[in-house]
Structure 1
């Protein structure tokens, strides 16, 4: 696209945007009576206006039916979680039987590691990215300790080369090959939360399997943001939250993927709970766990219906918009943002911003991370004072993420105008 850093260009793109009407279906936070430039969908997505009705339906059925809502609600609660596989599968590139909505992200990560981190005497190490999200790091450390290993020995963290901000794929693959006979598990974020780098998940999964290790991904910053093909990439497992790009509310129900080849293996070890027990005989309350032969077999407890209702309100919008259209708009929005930031840098006598998110189309999603070379905190505060909702990450990065369901090209242009004026002062 031939980008132009003008209001006219932005409005022209918005006028021809096939997804433009979706913005009106979200609540946009206000600042001095006007819409904010809300660029933190990578931290908490906005609320669909329909969410209140989706939750209200379940509250009404609870009030009207009490416990009978499990069987006679408009969407019977006993089967409520079964609404989600067909909605989630296109978003993560999976078969419906490979996905399940349950728990929260780090809970799911621990549950999946209970299955797929099975250390042996010589093969016990976990390979991950340095500067993974802290909750992931804590999970890896504690899993190693639970199996009797010291994290400093069992957890291998890969960092970018000196002076670089991204991990090179060839360095990841080389490390997998180097430690291959010691690796039990290779696990990365699909998108690095700090830099916004998208990892080559297919290459990583292939390399892990070639050395005999399992491979999994934390997709907190990937689900609903980038193209995913988990089944085709032969990923063993993945998990994600739903409150970022999936717009399902703070702390809402998370999701998990287990590849079909593992779902159908009832002998695979796992932490078991009664909602993962075969449905036909679940309420006979018999001993000895019999797993559902789908991703549902990793469930522990019955569905949190109220948070799932909020989740469904957003997923229905994803289904209506379609991932292909969302990804196309996302690429155009982020490309425009790169162009605007390049214009700003070119106009400065002293460079203030270094964009550390990769530019290659396949190596980034919505998020653009700006390393502030001077006065980063002052710039961030000034942005907030001007109605820009962005995200600060220590020590000096401002993250912004124009998301295609509710952000516009005019949002990107306005952000550029505001930050240019701030830097000019």
Structure 2
């Protein structure tokens, strides 16, 4: 099992609990990839080398499509192909990718993927999750926990006590989805249906690129136009092919104080300990003016600390 470093905590818990469930010590059963010294993001060549070196020993690879901490977007088709050539099953956590960029999980040959719907798909906190299972696994005989809704819809109400397993991901369902969680998701998807992910992605590239430009011009340590004594550094990859909406920032001063001042000014962002501030202009509802206003507010916050 491979997990990327700084992996979302819950995915780490899932991997460790699965190892214990099957009688293994997580310390021995998990391979956790780490960035190179003094780097924040994983290099594709290091990922592929690990798969090449250890692939025959690995049962399952778990990876995030977009790394939540750094905002790094991984090359899903390349990593998937490398894993499957070594006989590994590969699953992807797409929580920070769904609604963020176009995804072609079937065409990429991904074995399975899971995601939530409360981030870029806007279904609210605690919103329903989702699972993708490639059609080549549609009628598998893998051990699984079944429930009433695993039964094919044509037979479900016949009460014969004979399971007619639904093909694909439906065969893993235990019960019906809660209506109150489905409603906000449907409302959000109706909005997405009015455009396309390709169109949204083009706007996203420009929005995040504009944010990157302003941060570099006014807050980069080496910029002649820097507006404050404090500076910030972008740790998210610079290549648009290796990131989505998000930029992760590290500041030269203490993070909590910046976060508090931004909140006072009505800016909704996210801090990730120990020292990362995540800023995400979202293509569906943020504007270029929002990005400029954020930079102005951030500069104002940092100048306040200079007075102290």
Match among 65, 73, 93 for residue 198 of structure 1: 73
Task: Compute the displacement of 1:140 (Å).
Answer: 0.3
Match among 267, 270, 273 for residue 391 of structure 1: 270
CA contact under 8 A between 1:357 and 1:368: conserved in structure 2?
yes
CA–CA separation in structure 1 for the residues paired with 2:6 and 2:135:
30
CA–CA separation in structure 1 for the residues paired with 2:207 and 2:214:
11
Cα RMSD between the aligned structures? 1.3
Q: Who is 2:114 aligned against?
A: 239
CA–CA separation in structure 1 for the residues paired with 2:229 and 2:295:
17
TM-score, normalised to structure 1's length?
Answer: 0.69
Instruction: State whether structure 2 residue 241 is matched by structure 1 residue 362.
Output: yes
Task: Compute the displacement of 1:307 (Å).
Answer: 0.9
Instruction: State whether structure 2 residue 207 is matched by structure 1 residue 328.
Output: no
Task: Compute the displacement of 1:141 (Å).
Answer: 0.3
Task: Compute the displacement of 1:288 (Å).
Answer: 4.5
Q: Who is 1:316 aligned against?
A: 190
Displaced runs of 4+ in structure 1, greater than 6 A? none
2:108 partner SS: coil
Match among 199, 204, 216 for residue 342 of structure 1: 216
Task: Compute the displacement of 1:227 (Å).
Answer: 2.1
Q: Who is 1:300 aligned against?
A: 174
Task: Compute the displacement of 1:370 (Å).
Answer: 0.5
1:57-87 CA-to-partner distances (Å, cap 9, x unmatched) read: xxxxxxxxxxxxxxxxxxxxxxxxxxxxxxx
Task: Compute the displacement of 1:341 (Å).
Answer: 0.4
1:279-323 CA-to-partner distances (Å, cap 9, x unmatched) read: 111112233432212322221101211110111000111111221
1:117-158 CA-to-partner distances (Å, cap 9, x unmatched) read: xxxxxxxxx111011100000000000000000000101100
CA–CA separation in structure 2 for the residues paired with 1:242 and 1:305:
14
1:358-400 CA-to-partner distances (Å, cap 9, x unmatched) read: 1111111011100122122211111111111111110111101
CA contact under 8 A between 2:61 and 2:91: conserved in structure 1?
yes
Instruction: State whether structure 2 residue 157 is matched by structure 1 residue 283.
Output: yes
- Residues 208/288 of structure 1: CA separation in 2 closer, same or farther (3 Å cut): farther
2:283 partner SS: coil
CA contact under 8 A between 1:266 and 1:291: conserved in structure 2?
no
CA–CA separation in structure 2 for the residues paired with 1:253 and 1:357:
28
CA–CA separation in structure 2 for the residues paired with 1:339 and 1:194:
21
CA–CA separation in structure 2 for the residues paired with 1:400 and 1:242:
19
Task: Compute the displacement of 1:188 (Å).
Answer: 0.5
TM-score, normalised to structure 2's length?
Answer: 0.94
Gaps (5+ residues) in structure 1?
A: 1-125
CA–CA separation in structure 1 for the residues paired with 2:60 and 2:168:
22
2:106 partner SS: coil
Task: Compute the displacement of 1:350 (Å).
Answer: 4.9
Looking at both structures, which has the greater relative contact order when contacts are Cα pairs under 8 Å and sequence separation is at least 6? Answer: 1
CA–CA separation in structure 2 for the residues paired with 1:395 and 1:267:
44
1:99-131 CA-to-partner distances (Å, cap 9, x unmatched) read: xxxxxxxxxxxxxxxxxxxxxxxxxxx111011
Match among 248, 266, 269 for residue 143 of structure 2: 269
| Structure with more of its chain in helix, by fraction | 1
- Residues 382/267 of structure 1: CA separation in 2 closer, same or farther (3 Å cut): same
Instruction: State whether structure 2 residue 210 is matched by structure 1 residue 210.
Output: no
Task: Compute the displacement of 1:267 (Å).
Answer: 1.9
Match among 248, 251, 260 for residue 372 of structure 1: 251
